[in-house]
Amino acid sequence: MLLAAPVAQSQSLPVAVTAAGDTATVVVGNPTAPLAEVQLDFDDAQGLSPASLGVAADLVAVNSPALLARLPSGLVTVPAELPAMVAVEPPALGGLAFERRVHVELHTHALPYTAGSRFRLFKAPLGGAFRDVTSAVEPGSVRTRGTTGGFSQFVVVLDLRPTDAVVAEKLDYLRAQADLLAATEAEPLHALIDEVEVAVADGQFADAMAGVDALRARVSARAGLHIPEQWRATRDLANIAGELLSGLDTLAFSIGYLRDYGP
């Protein structure tokens, strides 16, 4: 009944958070019949606890102008069956830190899975523009997965944009992240990104995937000493390696989708 009725404004949802080791789990909604479950797997976390994550969730008005303005275009919508936004906003003094990436899985029974699904996992800074961070969409009913070098808000959307345009957007994001580095680090990354772009345009998807792997290998090898790789709750560090690796994860997903399902 709750999901069938329109949501006039944001309404808080209950969340139950547990954490152990490098993994945290969030149950959103009624614990006996949750609306969604979110799992966060950190590459390397310090100070991880339910309190240090700062998790909250809301039901949102899917057609509100404020929400629509944060999405890339009218072809991206939040499904009425899952009008939920999950925020992970660690408190500055909570002590959370991690290196490189967080692997995010949002699982829900509210949406049906089909092969070639257009459901995607999007992420935004608080109040900012959402972007696609999807690295997998799998059954069960729907499991959207992605990675991130930081936080804040996550939402599942239906994305009907042409996939080649999505790929171009993700290439531009990688270029923007590379531009945050010194020229000696940025230039080799730009050269590899250009090679991936050309391979995609030529329909040479194996070459494009090989280029993504080469980028991932270079970033991983140079993370830490040459490319900043740490995020912490005090927000005084730029986790560029994590953002680059996450950008490559979602780029690989979209290249594979373009290969398998077309534009």
- Give the model confidence (pLDDT) of 29-59 as tens digits: 999 999 999 999 999 999 999 999 999 999 9
Q: How remote is the C-alpha of 151 from its chain's centroid?
A: 9
User: Does residue 182 lie within any of the structural domains?
Assistant: yes
Task: Tell me the C-alpha to C-alpha distance, in Å, between residue 90 and each of 19, 47, 48, 136, 181.
Answer: 14, 11, 10, 25, 26
* Structural domain for 40, as ranges: 11-159
183, part of any domain? yes
Q: Which long-range contacts (CB under 8 A, 24 or more apart) does 255-260 make?
A: 255/167, 255/196, 255/200, 255/205, 255/208, 255/209, 255/212, 256/205, 256/209, 257/116, 257/163, 258/163, 258/164, 258/167, 258/200, 258/205, 259/205, 260/116
* Residue-wise pLDDT tens digits, 87-132: 999 999 999 999 999 999 999 999 999 999 999 999 999 999 999 9
48's tokens = 């991880």
Mean pLDDT of the residues in the chain: 95
Do 23 and 144 belong together in one domain? yes
Backbone angles phi, psi at 100, to 5 degrees: 65, -105
Per-residue pLDDT tens digits for 135-154: 999 998 999 999 999 998 99
pLDDT for residue 6 is more than 50: no
Residue where one domain finishes, among candidates 131, 159, 187 = 159
Q: CB neighbours (10 Å) of residue 256? A: 17
Q: Which of 128, 159, 190 is the last residue of a domain?
A: 159
Confidence band for 1, pLDDT divided at 50, 70 and 90: very low
What average pLDDT does this structure show over 235-258? Answer: 97
Q: 3 vs 100, which has greater pLDDT?
A: 100
* Token representation of residue 50: 């339910």
The residue among 111, 130, 159 that closes a domain is 159
Do 155 and 168 lie in a common domain? no
33 in any annotated domain = yes
pLDDT value of residue 89? 96
How far is Cα 176 from Cα 236, in angstroms, rounded to an integer?
A: 19
Q: What is the pLDDT of residue 4?
A: 37
Residue 140 is predicted with a pLDDT of 86
pTM for this entry: 0.94
9 band by pLDDT with thresholds 50, 70 and 90: low
